Chain A
Amino acid sequence: MSRLLQVLGILGLVAFAATGAGAWLLTKDQVHVTIAADEPSRGGTDPLAELADRITTLEEDIRALARGLGEGLTQLDAAIAAAADSRAAAGARRDDVRAETIRRELETLATRQASFESRAIAELASLRSALAAGSPAPAVVPAPLAEPATEPVPEPLAATEAAEAPPEQVSEPEPPATPKRPSFLAFRLPSDDFSFDGPRTWEVVADLSRVGFDAKSTLHDFTGVTQAIDARLRLDLAHLDQTADGTIDVDATTLDTGLEGRDEAMRDHLGTDEHKVIRFQLASVEPKDVDTRKMTATGTARGKMSIHGTTLDVAMPVRLSIDSARRLHIDGEMPLVMSAYGIEVPSQLGLISVTDEVRVWIALRARPVRGDKSETEGERDR
């Protein structure tokens, strides 16, 4: 039995080998074996897959761009529409003002026309009845023309200008501007930007200012005074030690002592032909007392005084204050020795002489220069 099994096993193996050999013989011409490098593994980059990914990404980007562009165009369209609405509203407001003016004028004309018509009808009826009665026609008394209840009044210039101003280029709708109510003077006044604190340029109002000197002589004392002052000062009234400079020029030829002969002698002594201007160049102010609530200050003004061609350092105690008209008052006084400036002390025959020391004083009123820019020349209100 075992022998039989061995034989069958051998026969099976031979049959398996023969089948394999036959199969190899049948397919040997169709099988090609090529030896090549290993193909890319699954973890490597597949160019096709990469290209496909890139295309997909591009498609997504294009879709996102299209969405963004669409939203942007929508917003742009909305902004354009809003701007157009705003311009239309501004134009409509302007048109409304004009239309209102025209409407009021038309109403006035209509009222007057109605008045004329009623008067004409009444007078005609009166004439007819008089004619029918055979009596003389009544005298036609012209009735006063009925005045319209609302007489058209020209719009104030400021309001007209505001209405006719070109509409602003706005990117978004603005709330309607509330027109500023005119002051009790009927004008729209600029805002009050006055402040005691902070640097500001002041221009002396010559018409409201005086500069002079008090002199003593053997027989009588006298004052020389002038209003020919040209001065501009830059001051921080609350912080005088920080900002204080400027120039005060006085026309020496206009100093008036009340006596013509004395004035001529004074001009000779001052040499006004050559040195027409007396100048004080303010360099600093040393503050003493500053009261921002009362808007007053005191201190010592220091600078250079030029008289008769000589320039010397001087110091003048000054008081500064603001009045109800927002003008700056500057008052000060200091001694001045004439001989120090090379001025010959006036004397008559050695018997009447003026003291060498005089008191120089200032009483200035100054206006703030708006915007610290040069102001228009010409006469101004005070």
Chain B
Amino acid sequence: MTAEFLRRAKSLAAAAVLAVVPASCIPSNVVARTDREVDLEPAAVVWRPATSADLPGYFRSTDRSGALATGLWLVEYQFRADGTFTGAALLQGEPDAFAVLTGSWDMPGPGTLVLDGAEPAEIEAAHGLLRISGPDGSVVLRREDLR
């Protein structure tokens, strides 16, 4: 009786150990308080003044800041190498509405962009990214493939 009890106790203890050991191997994965927010900025983006070689292609905004952020949901451009572009902006309103335009772009110098005769803007580039900044804020655009 005692031997049988001891045998069962050992089995139970072994089962408990087997249950506990895998669980004890799992590390803690508590998210730090500072990491709770969704990270918006790609890590360590190094911006440089853009040149005309950075523009040709299709770009879509991923973020914007400043006063323009209250009126603009997104903007996308297709810049062509011949100095023309077409663009669409989803503007906030009642209701929201797309504005579409076609025009010409010019870069009087590195880091300066003029879109269809509008006021000059600062333009920077990083890997696959463009950032256009002006007095009303800035937008970050990501190059995407048209499939």
Q: Is B145 an interface residue (CB 8 A)?
A: no
Contact residues, A359-382 vs B (CB, 8 A): 361, 363, 365, 368, 370-371, 373, 375-376, 380-382
B136–A156 touching, CB < 8 Å: no
Given contacts A210-B37, A220-B27, contact A182 B118 (CB under 8 A): yes
Interface status of B74 (Cβ within 8 A of chain A): yes
Contact A222 B28 (CB under 8 A): yes
Number of chain B residues close to chain A: CB under 8 A: 61
- Minimum CB distance partner of B89 in chain A: A187
A348→B139 contact, CB < 8 A: no
For the residues of B in contact with A, the DSSP-based class is: mixed
B interface, CB within 8 angstroms of A: 15-16, 19-20, 23-24, 26-31, 33, 36-38, 40, 61-75, 84, 87, 89-96, 99-104, 115-116, 118-121, 132-137, 139
Chain A, interface residues (CB within 8 Å), range: 35 or more
Chain A residue with minimal CB distance to B72?
A: A189
A258 interface residue, CB < 8 Å from B? Answer: yes
Asked if A48 CB lies within 8 Å of chain B CBs, one says no
Q: Are B95 and A382 in contact (CB under 8 A)?
A: no
Stretch at the interface among A92-100, A124-132, A239-247, A324-332: A324-332
- Chain A min CB distance to B34 (Å): 10
A209 and B40 alpha carbons, distance in the complex (Å): 11
* Complex alpha-carbon distance, A186 and B116, angstroms: 6
Closest to A161 in B: B99
In the bound complex, do residue A210 and residue B36 qualify as a contact, i.e. CB atoms below 8 Å apart? yes
Asked if A380 and B121 make an inter-chain contact with CB atoms under 8 angstroms apart, the answer reads no
Within 8 Å of chain B (Cβ to Cβ): is A165?
no
- Nearest to B64 among chain A residues (CB) is A325
How far is A333 from B30 in the complex, measured between Cα atoms in Å?
14
Chain A residues with CB under 8 Å of B61's CB are 381
With A348-B19, A381-B74 already in contact, the answer to whether A363 and B91 are too (CB < 8 A) is: no
Q: Are B38 and A210 interface neighbours, CB within 8 A? A: yes
